[in-house]
Structure 1
Amino acid sequence: MISGSLVALVTPMLPNGELDWQRLHDLIEFHIEKGTDGIVAVGTTGESATVTIEEHCQILKRVVDQVNGRVPVIAGSGGNATQEAVHLTAEAKAIGADACLLVTPYYNKPTQEGLYRHFATIAEAVAIPQILYNVPGRTSVDMLNSTVDRLAGFDNIIAIKDATGDLARGKELIEMCSNRIDILSGDDATAAELILMGGKGDISVTANVAPAEMHKLCALAMAGKAEEARALNDRLMPLHKKLFIESNPIPVKFALQEMGLIDSGIRLPLTPLDTSHHAIVCDALAACGLAVTESVG
């Protein structure tokens, strides 16, 4: 059910930082029209760390209601406190999300046993499909493959988003766990290769601005069409790289603004993309054939 190109959706905001519901509506329709296979709402790219818990749930409900079953909706519901993650995951289930994405607890730097107990507690507390999320470059904690292997025994832990970008490690995960859970990429630059090795899709930042292309890339790789997938990935590589020229989602929000798809809002402590990087991101859009001032809705 959950495979292919899964967009890590930005949360549109007005210049004053308030949530922009109209642009959220437009983005959802844009993604469904362009073939995005699933929507991940209020994850890292959706600024989960800067929206309130009330806003978090409001965004999820808006997305679930509007999507209305047309594609899977995966709710970001992780946290660095286990009970907060349990609460958000329960709320996501009540709202009607198809699955939840649970990031490793950031800042606390738990042990591997702490990570196991954290995710085991959530899995036991809330009967909803759950996707583990390991992104050590963002959280300063790394969930080892051996810990993932232990967690793969829970029936409602269905996948992991591996955002390490380490293909050797991803291959080991596939060999170790893919008979029990799906392995999804969380690193656009290496996603095609991970899928060609047996991964099931990509939770993608690039898909925000190039949804049709990322859908095609994942479909080609999942079909084993390596040469075509790699050629398309090479064309998208400027975006894969330049959308991380500053901390995500700063560059991708700027790119979407340049395409006319969202307004300029972003919340502190994140700030708008530095002007010295504007041309770099615009050049990456142009290199992938994406024009500015595209309209939706």
Structure 2
Amino acid sequence: MFRGSIVALITPMHEDGRIDEDSLRRLVDFHVEAGTSAIVAAGTTGESATLDEQEHCAFVRSVVEFAAGRVPVIAGTGANSTTEAIALTGCAQRAGAAAALLVTPYYNKPTQEGLYLHFKAIAEAVEMPQILYNVPGRTACDLLPQTAARLSRIPNIVGIKEATGDLERLVRLKSLCAEDFDLLSGDDATACEFILQGGHGDISVTANVAPRLMQQMCAAALSGRRDQALAINARLDPLHRSLFVQSSPIPVKWAVAEMGLSARGIRLPLTWLTADAQPTVRAAMEQAGVI
């Protein structure tokens, strides 16, 4: 259902923390023009943890409106409360999003059975297509392949964003999950190899900064042009790594602001990229040719 380079869109903000709607419209156009396959709105890179429910729903509506059918919009709707996740997913469906992206519940540390029942409850409550999101480094919760496989048999659970960076996970997921289940990387540093080994795409932080190159790399990998994909990825690799030199989305919001695409805003408890880290990110942007 979803293939190629999918941007995990930042939420552009003014310095006082208000959402910057003008920059948001520019960013959506930027990604459409660059050939980005889909846009994730209000995901974890979009600081969803600091958006209240009203802001969250309004942001998804705005992205759907600005996209105007030119590119699918996937709404981040995960929460560590099943009830809240159902409410956010319902908002996404009413806004016209193409799918929902549901991060594993953070902090709670549910069992595998608890994870299965959590995602099953959301899928049964809201009929729209849903993508699981596993990022244990941020959530302290690991959705194991055998649980993902059980969930892949629920008709409207259509894929997983696997952000462990462990390519052995891909092997397990391919062998266990339903045949038509989308396998998406959530780790830019290993995404090229993930796709070359049979994955379908990448939900990408790097694509905020270098969307055209990310689209070209994913397209080359999907068509089996290994040498071309690796060559493009080598140009992007410093960017993949430098965008995590401090907690994401701190570096990527700085980079997008440096490109003149958004204001310089981020919400506490995150802070702006420190001066000592800025040359590292700038050098990676120069190597990728985006500044």
Runs of 4 or more, structure 1, over 2 Å off, are none
CA–CA distance in structure 2, aligned partners of residues 230 and 178 of structure 1: 29
Q: CA separation in 1, counterparts of 2:180 and 2:262?
A: 39
8 Å CA contact 1:2, 1:72 repeated in 2:
no
Find the counterpart in structure 2 of residue 60 from structure 1.
60
Partner of 2:49: 49
**Percent of aligned pairs with the same amino acid:** 57
Aligned residue type for 1:101: L
Q: Give the equivalent residue in structure 1 for 2:252.
A: 252
**Local SS of the residue matching 2:263:** coil
Report the alpha carbon displacement of residue 94 of structure 1 after superposing the two structures with TM: 0.7
Distance in 2, matches of 1:138 and 1:53, equals 21
Distance in 2 separating the partners of 1:67 and 1:289: 26
**Which residue of structure 2 lines up, in the alignment, with residue 290 of structure 1?**
290
Q: Does the 8 A contact of 1:171 with 1:194 survive in 2? A: no
CA shift at 1:257, angstroms? 1.0
SS at match of 2:236: helix
Match of 1:125 in 2: 125
Structure 1 partner of 2:269: 269
Partner of 1:5: 5
Per-residue CA distance 1:221-241 (angstroms, 9 max, x = gap)? 000111110111111000000
Amino acid at match of 2:289: G
* Conserved 8 A contact 2:135-2:142: yes
Contact 2:159 2:182 (C-alpha < 8 Å) held by counterparts = yes
Matched residues in 1 for 2:181 and 2:35: separation?
24
Matched residue of 1:7: which SS?
Answer: strand
Any idea what the Cα deviations from partners look like across 1:90-122, whole Å, max 9, x if unmatched? 110011100000000001011111100000000
**Residue 88 of structure 1 corresponds to which residue in structure 2?**
88
Q: 1:190-225: CA deviations, max 9, x gaps?
A: 111111111110000000000000000110000011
Does structure 1 conserve the Cα–Cα contact (< 8 Å) formed by 2:152 and 2:178?
Answer: no
Alignment partners' CA distance in 1, 2:257 and 2:241: 18
* Distance in 1 separating the partners of 2:147 and 2:244: 28
Q: What is the deviation of 1:175?
A: 2.3
Whole-Å Cα distance in 1 between the matches of residues 150 and 157 of structure 2? Answer: 11
Give 1:112's aligned residue. 112
1:153–1:180 Cα contact (<8 Å) kept: no
The alpha carbon displacement at 1:260 in A equals 1.0
1:278 aligns with 2:282: no
1:178 to partner: Cα distance? 5.2
Q: CA deviation at 1:274?
A: 1.2
Contact 2:107/2:139 (8 A) holds in 1: yes
Deviation at 1:180, TM superposition (A): 3.6
User: 2:196 aligns to what?
Assistant: 196
Kept in 2: contact 1:195–1:218 (CA 8 A): yes
In 1, distance between residues paired with 2:180 and 2:236? 31
TM-score, normalised by the number of residues in structure 1? 0.97
Residue in 1 that maps onto 2:99: 99
Aligned to 1:165: 165
> Quick one: distance in 2 between partners of 1:274 and 1:109?
32
Distance 2:160 2:169 in 1: 13
**How many pairs align?**
291
Structure 1: gaps of 5 or more residues: 292-297
